[in-house]
Amino acid sequence: MTYKLDFTKQDIHYYVMLLSAPVLLTLYRYHGYPEYFYSYFPQFIGQPDGNLYARAWQFIIFFVLMFVVPVLYIKLVMKRPLSDFGLNLGDIRWGSKWLITIPLLVIPLIYISSKMPDVRVEYPLAKSLLSNQSHLLIYELGYIIFYYIAWEFFFRGFLLFGLKERFGSVNAILIQTISSCLVHIDKPEGEIIGSIFIGILFGMIALRSRSIWWVFLLHISIGVLTDLFIIYFH
């Protein structure tokens, strides 16, 4: 029996989407993390606000790779509207229900997890905020705009909405969940496990609401509240 490579030219965009996860995430891992910022800008090592600059670098690199690059591919190569990839409000009535339901359920869990030693070691990412909150607002805004928007657009937009047309909703949800879970490697064990369940749940919500914005709001509530609980509720 002769093996034949099952390559279909009309599926080229799906191949690009699938490969974008390992390629872009690898570039992020080896060029976006704080240690690489310090290798490029050693003058910030040991400075009180050096970690803030390092995290700003991380968020911006992530935004370029996970938002700007996919957007350019969608608009210039695929020539499709961004609304096809969840950048619209979708079903507002259905999506808004989750903004009330999920926070009521997860806020107590976030508070409890913020007391766990491994979570407190990890967050906030910029450790100088623990002793000096003068830059907290601009840090959290950067976190939300450059990191969380890019995160939700890439995983729940570009991958999820893009791949469901070819592989179906369930497979697309699982693909983006696997990819997003891998970004959590080196995070606290509970967060990694939780990212699997969150990835599936958020994928279902995004597809049902036809929008990434509802899961974006849910995601930032988890991230920002974790920081605030750790900073203000020692």
Q: How far apart are CA 21 and CA 181, in angstroms?
A: 12
Torsion of CA 220, 223, 228, 231, to 10 degrees: -150
The residues spanned by each domain of the chain are 11-232
- Average pLDDT of the residues in 110-118: 92
Q: How far apart are CA 155 and CA 218, in angstroms?
A: 15
- Average pLDDT of the residues in 87-99: 87
- pLDDT for 186 equals 84
- pLDDT for 223 equals 93
Nearest residue to 150 (alpha-carbon basis) of 68, 28, 77, 218:
68
Residue 2: which pLDDT band, with cuts at 50, 70 and 90? Answer: low
> According to the per-residue pLDDT averaged within each range, which of 4-8, 185-189, 198-202 is highest?
198-202
The H-assigned helical ranges of the chain are: 12-31, 34-40, 50-63, 69-72, 92-113, 117-122, 136-142, 149-151, 160-167, 169-183, 189-209, 213-232
pTM to 2 decimal places: 0.93
Q: 101 pLDDT exceeds 80?
A: no
Residue 48: which pLDDT band, with cuts at 50, 70 and 90? Answer: confident
Residue 111: which pLDDT band, with cuts at 50, 70 and 90? Answer: very high
- Average pLDDT of the residues in 183-198: 89
Q: Are 124 and 228 in contact (CB under 8 A)?
A: no
> Which residue did the predictor score with more confidence, 7 or 126?
126
Q: Which of 41-50, 146-155, 156-165, 174-183 has the lowest mean pLDDT?
A: 41-50
Looking up tokens 């390559």 gives: 7
